[in-house]
DNA sequence: GCAAAAGTGTTTGATATACACCCATGC
DNA sequence: GCATGGGTGTATATCAAACACTTTTGC
């Protein structure tokens, strides 16, 4: 069996919520490429897999190095390995394992930005390097799908949150308003949240109850 | 950036239906390992990724070479890359991209078998090499999930089939009987099948109508 | 006629949606 | 009081499950 000259890399689609046009909207951080191919284009953060780290560790490390983020939720998305992917023409072939992640709104707000790292609203992305546009599309699809049958939305919020905040998260991801009454009932019936007993003070209306997620942390490879 | 000594391989979990204990049951083909590590244990068919082929092509090729099968449906499942995965102790590290596939019942019946290739019922698997038990578990989970919201079950049947046969497929995968009346209504309402107008003759009861799948072939990387 | 599976009809319960309405706070 | 979102109640529609019943063949 002959060995192949294939390089393995890891990239991540990181979702965070940021204000956009007066509303919360789904954003993601991109890094500007500082070498060919696709010099100067925006790309997903990532880097090569090192010999002594797992795929997940590689995703965390490259994320930390390029954006300073430590996502709450990190999950494998898909592996891309078309033959023409490495570069425009020559260069080694790259198999790219893509993860997707969620960071809390407060983390996203604090994240390091600069000339070479920026946050972009998912509905208004610049042209991306490689096939990263397609990858982001897959990640959004996966996020929306998982919103329905899991509790991932909690990963975008702090430990304690109101149901109004949770609803805002869902509305930002789905891109449409949700009925507050029905949303409340669905969430309460799902048993994924528990009231802390405390209420949020200082609002100019009835103080909303605070909830905590009852879901345990994920354990995926 | 240093290159890493990482090998890339592809494996596939192939599902097919075969009679087992008088009923149709989910089976998969395994190959016996002819070298260390895990010599003589059963393992998923697979092999190394070659430099000039896509991941999907590698899956198809290794499948054809080891089992002689050409699955109807082939889809990427997950990529495994823990550091300790390569072998018992030494040896190069392996990143393994796993696909899963469905073959029609008639193909499964004809498939090449022998001392080193055999079909096993999913409920009665022998101990597998590496972490392949875990991988099969994931694949079954994915198959059951996709059964609900896609038309993959059609890939296990010939071009024309009765709703009774389709129901048998679902029952075999889900492991429980389904109400014929309600199953019929759900399938007809889904619009994923169209009657051919023909009926199956030669049965010792009312001749069932034949249907055809209206779903187009998948196009996944 | 009888057995067996195809195919139809109907009842019931669970679940989602729409929307009216009251509650508790800041100003 | 008024505005604002929190929170409750309720009618309606949609859909899934359970199951009785009729149909059409081979024997």
Residue pLDDT, tens place only, B29-49:
999 999 888 999 999 999 999
Closest-lying nucleotide for A209 based on CA to C1': D6
Question: pLDDT for B49-107, tens place per residue?
Answer: 998 899 999 999 999 999 999 998 999 999 998 776 555 555 578 899 999 999 998 88
For residue B15, give how far its alpha carbon lies from the nearest alpha carbon of chain A (Å): 21
Residue at A204 is within a domain:
yes
Contacts of A49 in chain B (CB under 8 A): 4, 6, 81, 95
**pLDDT: which is higher, A53 or A215:** A53
Clarify whether residues B141 and B198 are in a common domain. Answer: no
Q: How far, in Å, is the CA of B176 from the C1' of nucleotide D17? A: 15
Domain boundary among A93, A123, A148: A148
Residue at A203 is within a domain:
yes
What's the pTM? 0.89
Question: pLDDT for A49-107, tens place per residue?
Answer: 998 899 999 999 999 999 999 998 999 999 998 776 555 555 578 899 999 999 998 88
- Tokens 């597998």 correspond to what residue? B128
Pair of tokens at residue B42:
């059963």
Q: In terms of DSSP bridges, do strands B6-20 and B46-48 run parallel, antiparallel, or are they unpaired?
A: antiparallel
For residue B19, give how far its alpha carbon lies from the nearest alpha carbon of chain A (Å): 34
Q: How far, in Å, is the CA of A185 from the C1' of nucleotide D10? A: 14
Q: Yes or no: say if B62 and B71 are a contact pair by the CB < 8 Å rule.
A: no
Q: How far apart are CA A128 and CA A174, in angstroms?
A: 23
- A86 conformational bin, left if phi > 0, alpha if psi -120 to 50, beta if neither: alpha
Clarify whether residues B70 and B54 are in a common domain. Answer: yes
Query: Which pLDDT belongs to residue B6?
Result: 87
B1 contacts A55? CB cut-off 8 A = no
At residue B14, does pLDDT exceed 60? yes
B206: helix, coil or strand?
coil
Q: What's the domain range around B139?
A: 6-148
10 Å Cβ neighbour count for B78?
A: 21
Residue at A216 is within a domain:
yes
Q: How far apart are CA B136 and CA B139, in angstroms?
A: 5
The CATH number covering residue B157 comes to 1.10.10.10
Domain boundary among B148, B171, B204: B148
Clarify whether residues A76 and A107 are in a common domain. Answer: yes
Residue at A1 is within a domain:
no
Query: Which pLDDT belongs to residue A2?
Result: 46
Clarify whether residues B127 and B158 are in a common domain. Answer: no
Q: How far apart are CA A19 and CA A25, in angstroms?
A: 6
Provide the domain count of chain B.
2
Q: Touching check for A148 and chain B: CB below 8 Å?
A: no
Query: Which pLDDT belongs to residue B219?
Result: 44
For residue A170, give how far its alpha carbon lies from the nearest alpha carbon of chain B (Å): 22
10 Å Cβ neighbour count for B26?
A: 21
Lowest mean pLDDT among A30-44, A121-135, B73-87, B197-211: B73-87
φ and ψ at A195, to 5 degrees? -70, 140
Q: How far, in Å, is the CA of B203 from the C1' of nucleotide D19? A: 25
Clarify whether residues A169 and A198 are in a common domain. Answer: yes
- Tokens 């425009």 correspond to what residue? A88
Contacts of B85 in chain A (CB under 8 A): none
Clarify whether residues A32 and A131 are in a common domain. Answer: yes
Clarify whether residues A139 and A125 are in a common domain. Answer: yes
Q: How far apart are CA B67 and CA B47, in angstroms?
A: 12
Question: pLDDT for B109-144, tens place per residue?
Answer: 878 788 899 999 999 999 999 889 999 999 999 999
Question: pLDDT for A152-167, tens place per residue?
Answer: 999 999 999 999 999 9
The CATH number covering residue B105 comes to 3.90.79.10
Query: Which pLDDT belongs to residue B3?
Result: 52
Clarify whether residues B111 and B195 are in a common domain. Answer: no
A78 contacts B54? CB cut-off 8 A = no
Clarify whether residues B16 and B68 are in a common domain. Answer: yes
Domain boundary among A130, A148, A166: A148
Q: Yes or no: say if B79 and B97 are a contact pair by the CB < 8 Å rule.
A: yes
Q: In terms of DSSP bridges, do strands A93-102 and A6-20 run parallel, antiparallel, or are they unpaired?
A: parallel
Q: Touching check for A87 and chain B: CB below 8 Å?
A: no
Clarify whether residues A140 and A99 are in a common domain. Answer: yes
């Amino acid at each position: 069996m002959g060995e192949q000259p294939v390089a393995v890399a890891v990239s991540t689609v990181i979702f965070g919520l940021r204000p956009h046009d007066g509303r919360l909207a789904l954003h993601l951080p991109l890094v500007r490429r500082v070498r060919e191919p696709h010099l100067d284009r925006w790309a997903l953060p990532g880097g090569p897999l090192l010999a002594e780290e797992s795929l997940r560790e590689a995703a965390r490390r490259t994320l930390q190095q390029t954006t300073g983020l430590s996502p709450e939720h990190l999950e494998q998305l898909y592996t891309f390995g078309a033959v023409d992917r490495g570069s425009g023409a020559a260069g080694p072939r790259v198999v790219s394992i893509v993860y997707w992640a969620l960071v809390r709104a407060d983390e996203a707000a604090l994240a390091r930005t600069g000339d070479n790292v920026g946050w972009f609203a998912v509905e208004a992305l610049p042209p991306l390097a490689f096939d990263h546009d397609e990858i982001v599309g897959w990640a959004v699809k996966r996020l929306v799908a998982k919103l329905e049958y899991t509790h991932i939305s909690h990963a975008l919020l702090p430990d304690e949150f109101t149901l109004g905040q949770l609803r805002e998260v869902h509305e930002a991801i789905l891109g449409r308003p949700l009925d507050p009454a029905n949303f409340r009932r669905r969430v309460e019936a799902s048993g994924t949240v528990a009231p802390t007993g405390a209420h949020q003070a200082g609002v100019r209306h009835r103080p909303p109850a605070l909830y905590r997620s009852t879901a345990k942390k994920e354990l995926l490879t």
